[in-house]
Amino acid sequence: MLTGDELMTGDTVDSNSSYLSQSLKDFGVVPQSKRVVGDDLALLEESILELTSVSDVLVVNGGLGPTVDDLTALALANAAKEGLSRNADAMEHLEAWAKPRDFVLTESNLKQADLPSSCEVIPNPVGSAVGFKTELNHCLVICTPGVPYEFKRMVDEQVIPLIRQKGSLSAVFEITRLRLFGITESGLQDIVNNRFPDWPSQVNLGFRVQMPVIEVKLITQNDSALNELWTQKFQALFADYIIGKGDTSLPQALNLALLEKELVLTTAESCTGGAIAAAVTSEPGSSKVFQGGFVSYSNGIKHSALGVAEETLDNHGAVSQPVVLEMAAGALRHTKADIAVAISGIAGPDGGTEEKPVGLVWMAWGREDGLKARQFFLPVGRKAFQRTATAIAMDLVRREVMGLDTSVDYFSELKRQGSKLKK
């Protein structure tokens, strides 16, 4: 149950319930119902009564703050027909929270320590509001803070163990999370089906798109050896596509590969306008692998800043193999970096021709003595084009640095769409 007028008016989009559901999914639990209730005492009380009477566990989110519209504790006290009383553990938490911040607790703040008398406090290591729990109608009620950062931490550390305990979900779950780039969900599933007809039902395999990468989870119960075995098989099959474990992002994977090989990257960007450099430098520590790059949007700058020959531009056009090769060479020459990536394409909506339609893009990458180039067709709208081209460029460099195949067939779905549009 999610509380708050800001959810009813749509001022806030709820992502907390999705986080909780995703965490529960790892243990095979799917919530039975989900309600959003505004800051209305009677409605909150009624919903708590209704939901506790049909559920084993009710997680209430939000309404723990110090203001008059924070009503969760009072609604729960009313539903449980008990009073609010100042909770000593909650007081202790508030004081411990306020002290290092030189924060003087007001009467409103102290209200956060007034909890239904049967409640036990759930610690909140990162915020002023404590969580709390009680039993009502044989249902475990867990009240949690609305601030996503606080909520997520409490879900990981407290709520999930409580729910597993209540549901006798005592099995030990092994969860392996891998992140892949350059392949679609359905592509992944097809390959798994074809290559692993013997995939065991005890290894739950889940995919989730987190643009531009896909997260893959392998989940087993009480069998870490089985998890490890099938993780190894999966990793072997998709080795080139796997950019890392856990929450690895494309720029992280690229920077790590560069760092490992002690290589410095430079960029020469036209259609992505600096987005590759911005992504690489968005990561801490990027100065070890990146010292500078160029945004050469016009032909003039491609010539003046990168030394692309005017003849090459005239003869082949800015979106061509010779031009991106000269851009990459120019960037290497001017920065003394070890490896370059250059990109030139037609992001649209204008600027396309029959021969070179919107969505066409050339990329060059590699070291001075071994530059390679490839053409892609990404007819997906300007911003998606820029995002996708940036991601592919980073992945090509990652593959080059790691000695992996750079002729990979990225997003075959996209290409099919492309060939259709080209007709």
Q: Cβ 363 to a copy of itself, closest distance in Å?
A: 16
By CB under 8 A, name the one of 164, 166, 334, 372 that touches a copy of itself: 334
The two tokens of residue 302 are: 């491609």
DSSP SS3 for 61: strand
Alpha helices in 167-223 (DSSP H): 185-195
How far, in Å, CA of 294 to CA of 301, rounded? 9
How far, in Å, CA of 205 to CA of 199, rounded? 9
By CB under 8 A, name the one of 48, 100, 188, 349 that touches a copy of itself: 349
Directed axis angle between helix 382-402 and helix 250-260, to 10°? 30
The two tokens of residue 201 are: 């039902």
Q: Cβ 305 to a copy of itself, closest distance in Å?
A: 6
Residue 300 interacts with a copy of itself (CB under 8 A): yes or no: yes
How far, in Å, CA of 292 to CA of 334, rounded? 9
Residue 274 interacts with a copy of itself (CB under 8 A): yes or no: yes
Residue 196 interacts with a copy of itself (CB under 8 A): yes or no: no
Distances (CA, A) of 347 to 7, 22, 223: 37, 35, 49
Q: Cβ 209 to a copy of itself, closest distance in Å?
A: 9
By CB under 8 A, name the one of 158, 335, 344, 388 that touches a copy of itself: 335
By CB under 8 A, name the one of 261, 356, 374, 382 that touches a copy of itself: 382
Residue 5 interacts with a copy of itself (CB under 8 A): yes or no: yes
How far, in Å, CA of 160 to CA of 166, rounded? 10
Residue 45 interacts with a copy of itself (CB under 8 A): yes or no: no
User: Which residues on neighbouring strands pair with residue 242, listed in sequence order?
Assistant: 180
Residue 225 interacts with a copy of itself (CB under 8 A): yes or no: no
Q: Cβ 271 to a copy of itself, closest distance in Å?
A: 8
By CB under 8 A, name the one of 53, 189, 202, 291 that touches a copy of itself: 291
How many binding residues for a copy of itself (CB under 8 A)?
68
> Mind spelling out the 3-state secondary structure of 379-411?
CCCHHHHHHHHHHHHHHHHHHHHHCCCCCCCCC
How would DSSP label each residue in 221-250? ES-HHHHHHHHHHHHHHTGGGEEEETT--H
| C-beta of 9 vs 170, nearer to a copy of itself | 9
The span of 22-30, 63-71, 143-151, 401-409 binding a copy of itself (CB under 8 A) equals 22-30
| C-beta of 36 vs 226, nearer to a copy of itself | 36
Residues 55-94 that bind a copy of itself (CB under 8 A): none
* Residue 162 one-letter amino acid: L
* Residue 50 one-letter amino acid: E
Residue 272 interacts with a copy of itself (CB under 8 A): yes or no: yes
- For a copy of itself, the binding residues (CB under 8 A) are 5, 7-15, 17-22, 25, 30-38, 43, 208, 267, 269, 271-278, 280-282, 284-287, 290-298, 300-302, 304-305, 334-336, 348-350, 382-383, 386
